[in-house]
Each structure stands twice: as C-alpha cells, then as structure tokens.
Amino acid sequence: MNTAVAEATTVNHPVVSKAEWLTERKALLAREKELMRLHDQVARERRALPWQRVEPHYVFDTAQGPRSLADLFEGRRQLLVQHFMLAPGWEQGCPSCSYMADHTDGMKLHLAQRDITLVAISRAPLAEIERFRRRMGWQFGWVSSFGSGFNRDYRVSFAPEEVAAGRVDYNYGLRSFPGEEAPGLSVFFKNDAGEVFHTYSTYGRGVEVMMGAYAMMDLTPRGRDEGDLAYTMAWVRHHDRYEPAPASASCCHAPA
C-alpha cells in the first residue's frame, strides 16, 4: 500500500465512541470464538487421519554423518519436517522458506518439551546448506536429501520434464508450478519398535503455520498489506537483505 492509499484508509476509517467500539468488538469476538472452535475441530480430525508406513530407507547427509529418517527424531517420537527450498547449485535458499525458518530457533526448545523434533530438509548438498546457514545464523537441525528420492516422494521437488509439461502433482492435485522446488511441511511418528509413519503433510498456504509474523500482522489495521504487490510475498527478503524499515510520516518524532 502506498502512502497516499494508507493515509486515505486512515482518514476514511470509521471512528466511534467507546460504547460503539465495544459493541463491534464483542460481535467480532463471537466470530473469533467460532473460528477457534472450528480450528480445534479440524485439529482433532487431523490427528485422527490414518497413517502411512514409510517403506523406503531414506538416508540423509548431516553434520554428524549419514543418518536415516528414524535417526532424525533424536530420541523423540514425533518429527516435523520443513521442506526447505534450496536446490543443488543455488546461491541462497528461497526467501519465503527463509522467512519461515526465521521462526524456528525460538520454537525448537518448546517443541522438544512436547516430544517433537523439528528439522529442515533440502536437496542441496550439505556443504551448500551449511554455507547458507552460517550466513543466516540459524542453529536448528538442517540436513541434505541430496541423492535421495525423499523430496520427490513428498512432492516438493519435481523433475524438469514435469515442470516443462506445465502440470505437477503438488498440494494433492495437478497444477501449474513455476519451478522444480516447492515448500511444504510433513509430520512423522516413530513407535517403540522403531517403525516410522507418515501422518500428515501440508503445502501451499498450509505452510503459513510456521509464519508467526503473519499472524501478528493479521491483528493490525493494515494487515499483511500485500494487495498491491506483484505476488503476495514479494516484500519478503532474507533477514540480512532488508533495507531499514521507513519511519511513518505521521510519527510524533517526525520533523515539523
């Protein structure tokens, strides 16, 4: 939103008394409670989904050497995987996946308390992952599926011929997609016998669950403010590539 539009939005927005504001807020609260109940119901249905046994023996390259999918659980029973878009030869990871990953280090300690390990997996060789990780300053677990069919099996990497054909199998349907890598989140469970099961995957806007900053933006008057962009996340940069955020022209400290 440009400055003129932002100022017009502020000027034209309804301004009411405290009593009127409370009436409107309570009406919205009822809708928020309805949404929360629906969210809880969908979460219950998600947990009730049947599981799929993971049959292939995937091996990942890690800083500790080759590790199986079962090893990535680090002694816990639940594993969350961020399918991070970083393909072999890329200079840097996807900005949107990086935006997601910026939330990870703060979460991982709390997730561990609930028997959950979170790891990022990319197709790039480990050396390329580590180079980008050092630049970004991240500490979370991040491993390479280079040479493995893991990414294609979980429909976050596509063969060149699939992309050239104009239709890839992504987000549970055939659709056009602009590249060979896509974002996603997958969940796995390991039982006491060491068997691993795939319990859930989400793609597209489903990955917003990792984007806590978006949830905070949604509370503000201007929200995500993406309506005038070429695409919704065109504003996102790697956190070391942002220009300083401009101060509002209406700030009380602005010069007269």
Residue 159: count of CB within 10 angstroms of its CB = 11
Structural domains of the chain, ranges and CATH numbers in brackets? 55-210 (3.40.30.10)
Close Cβ partners of 167 (under 8 Å, ≥ 6 residues apart): 174, 175, 176
Rounded to 10 degrees, the C-alpha dihedral 127/128/132/137 comes to -20
Q: Quick one: pLDDT at residue 251?
A: 44
Burial of 1 (0-12, 13-18, 19+ CB in 10 A): middle
> How far apart (Å, rounded) are the C-alpha atoms in residues 122 and 88?
9
Q: Quick one: pLDDT at residue 3?
A: 47
* C-alpha atoms less than 13 angstroms from C-alpha of 61 in its C-beta half-sphere: 14
Q: How far is CA 139 from CA 133, 136, 142, in A?
A: 8, 9, 9
Q: Quick one: pLDDT at residue 12?
A: 85
Q: Which of 192, 151, 185 is nearest to 168 (CA)?
A: 151
> How would you write the pLDDT of the chain (256 residues) with one tens digit per residue?
444 444 445 568 999 999 999 999 999 999 999 999 999 999 999 999 999 999 999 999 999 999 999 999 999 999 999 999 999 999 999 999 999 999 999 999 999 999 999 999 999 999 999 999 999 999 999 999 999 999 999 999 999 999 999 999 999 999 999 999 999 999 999 999 999 999 999 999 999 999 999 999 999 999 999 999 999 999 999 999 999 987 654 444 444 3
Q: Quick one: pLDDT at residue 248?
A: 59
Q: Quick one: pLDDT at residue 1?
A: 42
Q: Quick one: pLDDT at residue 72?
A: 98
Please, which residues bridge with residue 36 across strands?
none
